[in-house]
Amino acid sequence: MTMLLEAWWLLPLLVAGLCGLVCPLLGTLLVVQQRVLSTNLMAYAVLPGVVVAKALGWPVLLGGMGGAMAAVLLAELLMAERPAGSGQPEAVLNTVLASCLAVGVLLIQALELPVDLDGLLFGDLLVAGPEDLMRLVVALLLLLLLLHLRFKQLQWLGLDPDGAADRELPLRGLRLAMAGLTALVVVSATAAVGLALVMALICAPALAALSGATSLGQALTRAAGLGLGLSFLGCSMSLALNLPPGPLMACCCLPLLWLKPSPRF
């Protein structure tokens, strides 16, 4: 702990590094399960949850996760009657997303809360504390535990959800676990990259890792490595350029999209 206090850069670096590990790992699962859009919704729905938690004096983690889960449940409810493949479910998701962001911003103003909106949206590693580090450690451990215990079922969920249902796998529980874990990761990553930028760290390394991957395990390993590299690159650039690390990390994600998928080899 003394070392953490003396070396001011160590804690932010650890937080960034853990973020770079946990976001791409989860992102790889979310991309293959085609759950990216609902994850984006969760990221924005964290804001009103955090604001309500601050207003009531509740733990921020609880408020953020509650907001994210409530928004997903609301969206699922509103999408239930919309035909899949019509584009309507995506429109519902985006509307709920925008509304959640709006509710969060309005609540901050209406309740006159001392909330650092910039920090929440774009991250501020310099104010990251040991509790941010602990949240990320817990999120990473839970994700690894889920992968260890339910890897085959997670594979089925991504490969063929209908086939998984035919095999009478516990899909509802698995989806709920994934949603809870996603909410936890999004809230935990707020310190490093913020709610608005976390999707870049969730998606870009996963997309690059999936390019030409022959197994989910291989894609997960690649994504974690790329995410870790991106985090350290963003932090290094931040020191060199004296710019905030969160946006720099998100900017570094963009070139990864030039890696094209190669299904035939």
Partner 1 sequence: MGANRGIGPARCLAVPVDAPLLQARQLTFGYGAAPVLQAIDLDVSKGSCTLIRGDNGAGKSTLLHLLQGKVQPTAGWVRLSGRPLRGQRRRLALVPQAPSLRWHYPINLAGLVGMGCGDQAQRTDQALHQVGLAGLAHAPIAALSGGQRQRALIALALASQAEVLLLDEPFACLDDHSRLQLGELIQALVASGTAVVLTAHGTLPGALPQRRVLHLQQGQLKQTEPAPGDRP
Interacting residue ranges for partner 1, rule: CB under 8 A: 32, 34, 152, 155-156, 158-163, 165-168, 210, 213-216, 218-219, 261, 263-265
Side chain identity at 27, as an amino acid letter? G
Q: How far is the CB of 184 from partner 1 (least distance, A)?
A: 25
DSSP 258: G
Q: How far is the CB of 154 from partner 1 (least distance, A)?
A: 12
Angstrom distance (rounded) from CA 146 to CA 154: 9
Q: Which of 37, 251 has the CB closer to partner 1?
A: 37
264, two tokens: 């035939």
Q: How far is the CB of 131 from partner 1 (least distance, A)?
A: 35
Q: Which of 32, 101 has the CB closer to partner 1?
A: 32
Q: Which of 134, 159 has the CB closer to partner 1?
A: 159
Q: Which of 237, 259 has the CB closer to partner 1?
A: 259
Q: Which of 258, 265 has the CB closer to partner 1?
A: 265
Angstrom distance (rounded) from CA 190 to CA 212: 31
Q: Which of 112, 168 has the CB closer to partner 1?
A: 168
Q: Would you mind telling me the total number of residues written for the chain in this entry?
A: 265
> Which residues are CB-neighbours of 32 under 8 A, at least 6 positions away?
158, 159, 210, 216, 219
Angstrom distance (rounded) from CA 223 to CA 260: 15
String of DSSP letters for 33-76: TT-HHHHHHHHHHHHHHHHHHHHHT--HHHHHHHHHHHHHHHHH
Q: What angle do CA 214, 219, 224 make, to 5 degrees?
A: 160
Angstrom distance (rounded) from CA 194 to CA 95: 21
Angstrom distance (rounded) from CA 119 to CA 127: 9
Angstrom distance (rounded) from CA 244 to CA 237: 9
Q: How far is the CB of 86 from partner 1 (least distance, A)?
A: 17
Q: How far is the CB of 162 from partner 1 (least distance, A)?
A: 4
Q: How far is the CB of 213 from partner 1 (least distance, A)?
A: 4
Q: Which secondary structure element, helix H or strand E, spans residue 88, and what is its range? A: helix 88-111
Q: Which of 128, 220 has the CB closer to partner 1?
A: 220
Angstrom distance (rounded) from CA 83 to CA 87: 8
187, two tokens: 């809230």
Q: How far is the CB of 163 from partner 1 (least distance, A)?
A: 7
Q: Which of 92, 206 has the CB closer to partner 1?
A: 206
Q: How far is the CB of 211 from partner 1 (least distance, A)?
A: 9
